[in-house]
Amino acid sequence: MFLVFALSLAVAMVLIHTALVLGAVRSLMAESSPDDFDFERESGRISVVIPARNEEPLLPRLLGSLERQDTDRFEIVLVNDRSEDATAQIMAEFAERHGRRVRIVQLTDSPGAMNPKQRALAAGVAVATGDLLLMTDADCLLPAAWVRTLGGQFRDPNVGLVVGAVMPRPRSSQRAPRWFDLYQSFDQLLRFQYCAGAAGLGIAAGGFGNNLAVRRAALDNAGGFEGLRYTLTEDAQLIAQVRETGCWQIRAVRRRGVRIAPATELNIRALCAQSLRWNSGGLFSPDLRTRLAYRLIMVYLMLSVFVLPLGLLIRPVVLPALASFISMLMLSITAGLLNAPGAWYWITLVPNLLLSMVFYSFVIMVSLFRPAVPWKGARLSVKSPSNSRLRGP
């Protein structure tokens, strides 16, 4: 009886991931080419909204990549969220060079019940004039065709939100060991496959807030950033609320022109904090569909890995762990084939995959205890708005 149960669980997980692979391929086929996209006629004005808190070391890199875009038909909204370094000065100097194309929002008060990034995005969107709102983070490097490629996905008037792929790169010459950088690139490409697969199946349930665009009408339909239910991952919640309106298509795009490069984390502690925030946001998402889907896959993975030593005594226990490996391997191979990240990806695929299984399982286990999550010098609670408090500066 136990053998039948273990085998059924294993087969179900492989089938779910097979569907996600097909969804990722379908998502690729739905991508639009930006080559003949007419900004003025088809999209109206485009606004790029960038929240920043204490980003003095990395913000110049992002602003430089905005200056190198292959179109200048967009405005830039910079939101300084209570920075204590030279972030405000860097923004002011950038605005002086570019005149009325750049707007700066200065935030000085506490975000209250909203998470800080959600509040910063709401403030930026409030002053933006664009019909399309493109969002990224201050630690990212954008390809020259980013605005044009991401904006071009809205040629279809039914598309309300688009999330793009990411591939992290080291943030400075004094970087972490090479394997650590490569693992983070692998990790985020794998995570994107889950997002792309779900979007391709019409059940979008997550994405990357540092590479996201939304039609203003779709954002308004979803209640705006200020109308999002409290969560540590405002990007996933926005996607959920746009999906729940039933009015808009959501796409995941992997074209090179849209693939950004956020800075890698410098050490395992920082990577754990980042993963803890993402996983806590998924496990305790206020959106029921997102919460159940995330728990189904990640809790299954955690249990299948942690009970694996029992396989020495109870052989059927090995089946769920084997199913986890096969399932994630399918998505990893799909990521490599569809994103063409380079030879390093294939050389390190199996070690990185095994590391991911252990690392994800550990982070999920920690997340289940609902610890406060470190972020930008603060500690964020996973609790609901009425009970949540932001601790720290």
Tens-digit pLDDT profile for residues 141-153: 999 999 999 999 9
Is the distance from CB of 263 to CB of 171 less than 8 angstroms?
Answer: yes
Tens-digit pLDDT profile for residues 253-308: 998 899 999 999 989 999 999 999 999 999 999 999 999 999 999 999 999 999 88
Q: What is the pLDDT of residue 171?
A: 61
CB atoms within 10 A of CB 389: 12
Which residue, 40, 84, 89, 21, is CA-closest to 60? 89
Element (H, E) at 279: helix 268-283
The pTM of this model reads 0.91
- Rounded CA separation 373/393 (Å): 14
Q: What is the pLDDT of residue 111?
A: 81
Give the percent of the chain with pLDDT over 90: 76
Is the distance from CB of 44 to CB of 130 less than 8 angstroms?
Answer: yes
Which residue, 145, 18, 161, is CA-closest to 71? 145
Residue 174 Cα distances to 36, 87, 140, 216, 261, angstroms = 41, 22, 17, 40, 17
Whether the pLDDT of residue 41 is over 70: the answer is no
Is the distance from CB of 67 to CB of 41 less than 8 angstroms?
Answer: no
Fold of 23-265: Spore Coat Polysaccharide Biosynthesis Protein SpsA; Chain A (3.90.550)
Residue 124 Cα distances to 9, 120, 224, angstroms = 45, 6, 11
| Rounded (5°) CA angle 253-144-159 | 30
Q: What is the pLDDT of residue 234?
A: 94
Residue bearing tokens 């080419």: 33
